[in-house]
Structure 1
C-alpha cells in the first residue's frame, strides 16, 4: 500500500483498530498506525495533512458499516 491507497488503508485500519473511533484519532497516531500496517510500503515522510485527512474520512466511512 502507498499513501494514495486511502480506501485500502481505511479498511486495514478498521481491521487493525476496531475499538477506535476514527473521528478522534490524532494525526500523529494515525500516521504511525498507517506506517505500521502490514503491507504498507511507502516513505513515511511522503504524507501530508491532506492525505491524512482523506484517509481519516475514508476510515470514518468504513467504520460506519
Structure 2
C-alpha cells in the first residue's frame, strides 16, 4: 500500500515502527519531512506537503504513542 500525504495515521504508525524510541514532541518538521520520505511505503508528490500536513502527522504519532 502506497502512503500519501493525506494518510496521516498510517504514516504515523509507520514512523513508530521505524523510530520506536523517538519522542514525536521533540521532532522538528524538517526531520519529520525527511523521515517520511525515507519510508519505503511512501509515494506521493513532494510538493504536496505543508506545515499543516506535518502537524496532522505529528498529532497522530502522539496519539498512537499513548
TM range (shorter): over 0.9
What is the TM-score when the length of structure 2 is the normalising length?
0.93
- Gapped regions of structure 1 (runs ≥ 5): none
Poorly superposed stretches of 4+, deviation over 2 Å:
none
5 Å matches for 1:1-65? Answer: 1-64=3-66
Distance, in Å, in 2 between the alignment partners of 1:13 and 1:25 is 12
What is the TM-score when the length of structure 1 is the normalising length?
0.95
Instruction: Report how many aligned residue pairs link the two structures.
Output: 64
- Gapped regions of structure 2 (runs ≥ 5): none
Distance, in Å, in 2 between the alignment partners of 1:45 and 1:19 is 29
